[in-house]
Amino acid sequence: MRSFARRHALPLCVPMFLLTLASTGEAQGRREAVPQLRRERPMLALEATGLFSSVKGQALGTVGDGAGFDVMASVGSGMFALGAGYQRSTHTLLGQSNRRALVDGAFIEPRLALPLAAGNFTPYVFGRAARLARSLENSGGEPRLRGSAIGGGIGTYFWLANNVQLNSALLWQDLRFDQPATRPNVAVARADGSQWALRAGLSVGFDNWGR
């Protein structure tokens, strides 16, 4: 009986040893997978930026360069983020330095991080679609004009802390605005133009998004 046990002990131990190794490897794999899942969880960020805006064309009338701001909330996961917010800029009317035009409205902005992150920098590309309106100070009864903008640009995050980033971007938009009818019963005309904007501000909430 003892010789039988000795002959069969080693064959029985081998599969038990392999089973133990497999269980240990599986548990270790589960432990390593947890941080990856945590990195991919959806993240919320709030952002506020100042902007300098240069407008071309007749979409907004004869206005000069202007300044303003935008604010946005966004949700990001992995390399992609989607945000929505509000933008506002003020422009002086050319030849009428005492009057200004206000352009404001809501927008949506998808972002895609580029696989070029290095150090504290993460570059990204983005698109923007907005529904805007233009109104005049001391309008004298001139109606509020409505229009749309669509465009995009490139930006970068610079990490100041785990959840705080300096955010800067260059934005271009194509503008299309209604123009007031010159005579009764005449269809409203459309005017085209474009806008370049430099943006810089702070984002709070993204924890290593796109990295």
Q: Is 80 exceeded by the pLDDT of residue 205?
A: yes
Q: Which two tokens stand for residue 205?
A: 């909430």
At 122, the amino acid letter reads: T
Class of the CATH domain delimited by 43-204: mainly beta
pLDDT score, position 140? 63
pLDDT score, position 106? 97
In contact, 63 and 93? CB cutoff 8 Å: yes
pLDDT score, position 22? 47
In contact, 197 and 58? CB cutoff 8 Å: no
Give 118's DSSP letter.
B
Positive or negative, the Cα torsion across 123, 124, 125, 129?
A: negative
Based on DSSP, count helices (H) and strands (E) in the chain, helices before strands. 1, 8
pLDDT score, position 183? 52
pLDDT score, position 9? 47
Give residue 178's pLDDT band: very low, low, confident or very high (50, 70, 90).
confident
In contact, 135 and 141? CB cutoff 8 Å: no
In contact, 158 and 123? CB cutoff 8 Å: no
Give residue 180's pLDDT band: very low, low, confident or very high (50, 70, 90).
low
SS3 142: coil
Give 35's DSSP letter.
H
In contact, 138 and 166? CB cutoff 8 Å: no
Q: Is 80 exceeded by the pLDDT of residue 148?
A: yes
Going by C-alpha positions, the residue among 134, 114, 124 that lies closest to residue 177 is 134
Going by C-alpha positions, the residue among 130, 33, 142 that lies closest to residue 72 is 130
CA–CA separation, 74 and 111 (whole Å):
9
Find where tokens 């390593």 sit: 32
90: number of CA atoms within 13 Å, CB side? 7
Residue-wise pLDDT tens digits, 9-57: 445 454 444 445 444 554 444 444 444 444 467 889 999 999 999 988 8
SS3 211: coil
Domain limits, the chain: 1-39, 43-204
